[in-house]
Chains A and B, each alone.
Chain A
């Protein structure tokens, strides 16, 4: 038994360092593996590696932020600030999903803007520029279907912009980003019940806003 080659390998192998043990849990996901490699290089001072991460996630982060802060200019600023914050705090990354880490930073930056707007109310969010929100049309797409999708998205975006910040944030994180209640509660620093309540009330508010346009969604 002692002559077993597997045992020999096990004896000869150098002790694993903690980082390797941690990374074995996420290394199965190639995207996550790529992110971790880029992040480690960025932590070592490689700006190109960080910019690669930015290129990978800037669309996703902007999409998240622009739904929470339905003003494209502000959303753009918030997204930039989120990447600045991520770069400043590269040392603060403590493992796990890089995407979740970046999303959390972006959500916090967006919530800061929302709080600032509450303190200093200026005006309601402007109506979203529809041309930026047109879904990508393929060649074989049905024009009627494309137009319907566009109308639906437009109506939903307008309705989303008109509900409260807290409800919008919870709905976006739950429905669009796919986080579960516990993750949203951790991100927004509220209780699980509050998250559920915000989602339920937010959907009811959306339905109130869209009650005359529900045919768009039924079709």
Chain B
């Protein structure tokens, strides 16, 4: 190993290499030139680097050891066919178009997903509002009136806050029932406890004893839901039944919403798939 002076050890060899490559200008160039002028080792390094660069450029060309021409069989195997030709057509000639198409499809799919899920959220919130709002004023009213609620009062409460009839019913039943009754009662039992009022306004649609009973006899599932609602409202007088309502609303999407959801998912996946395929094809082209 040649002797290296102490001062040279502190010099930056990259600066010398940059100068040898002709990449320096201005003050850096002046600094490097001065360094070479003052340090013999730096000057030698500079000269060696230039020699190495010249020798690398003058390396004799290598000759291919064999013929790389393609046979017809190889060509047939390599020719893109079927879906690869389609993908190449999408990704090859107009890359920007496929990219925009992929992004557009994915965006539309996302928007469709949002739109298809948003109504259920709004619905759930509205339900929460209606369940919570009438339950609170109805409870003191029921307490004041004893066990039976006046039809007009109750119907006003339920009709004011109820766009979803079952919610109105549960609010009614819960408000009319003493809180100590226990959490699980049938709608019919609740209505009986509250006291049947034959002439009660049916603004809520299910406010009457007959209505509740009829519902119990004709639609057991509705009654079952009312049970849960009643239990929930009883257990949570502050109206914590809202999440349940939103869950129930989400459980019953309309067929149109289903269609929108499915279509959005298809578009979203198609867009993502297009972008991924495009990326893969571009990578294979580059390699």
Partner of B56, one of A47, A59, A80, A175: A175
- The smallest C-beta distance from A217 to any residue of chain B, in angstroms, reads 4
Selected interface stretch from B73-81, B117-125, B229-237: B73-81
Q: Is A207's CB under 8 angstroms from B48's CB?
A: yes
B21: Cβ under 8 A from any A Cβ: yes
A176: Cβ under 8 A from any B Cβ: yes
Given known contacts A63-B61, A84-B78, A196-B18, A79 and B92 CB-to-CB distance under 8 angstroms: no
B21 surroundings in chain A (CB, below 8 A) = 196, 199-200, 203
Which residues in chain B, 21-66, are within 8 Å of chain A measured between CB atoms?
Answer: 21, 23, 45, 48-49, 51-53, 55-57, 59-66
Selected interface stretch from B150-158, B177-185, B279-287: B279-287
Q: In the assembly, what is the distance between CA of A132 and CA of B60, in Å?
A: 10
Given known contacts A51-B70, A199-B21, A203-B20, A108 and B60 CB-to-CB distance under 8 angstroms: no
Q: In the assembly, what is the distance between CA of A197 and CA of B53, in Å?
A: 15
Q: What count of chain B residues pass the 8 Å CB interface test?
A: 44
Q: In the assembly, what is the distance between CA of A75 and CA of B62, in Å?
A: 11
B68: Cβ under 8 A from any A Cβ: yes
Interface string of B265-287 (1 = CB under 8 A from A): 00000000000000000001111
B108: Cβ under 8 A from any A Cβ: no
Instruction: Report, nearest first, the 10 A-B pairs whose CB atoms are least far apart.
Output: A200-B17, A135-B60, A62-B64, A175-B56, A51-B69, A217-B51, A63-B62, A92-B285, A89-B285, A58-B68
- Interface residues of B, Cβ cutoff 8 Å to A: 1-2, 13-14, 17-18, 20-21, 23, 45, 48-49, 51-53, 55-57, 59-70, 72, 74-75, 78-80, 88-89, 92-93, 284-287
- Interface residues of A, Cβ cutoff 8 Å to B: 47, 50-51, 54-55, 58-63, 66-67, 72, 76, 79-80, 83-85, 87-89, 91-92, 104-105, 108-109, 112, 132-136, 149, 152-153, 156-157, 160, 171-172, 175-176, 178, 196-197, 199-201, 203-204, 206-207, 210-211, 214, 217-218
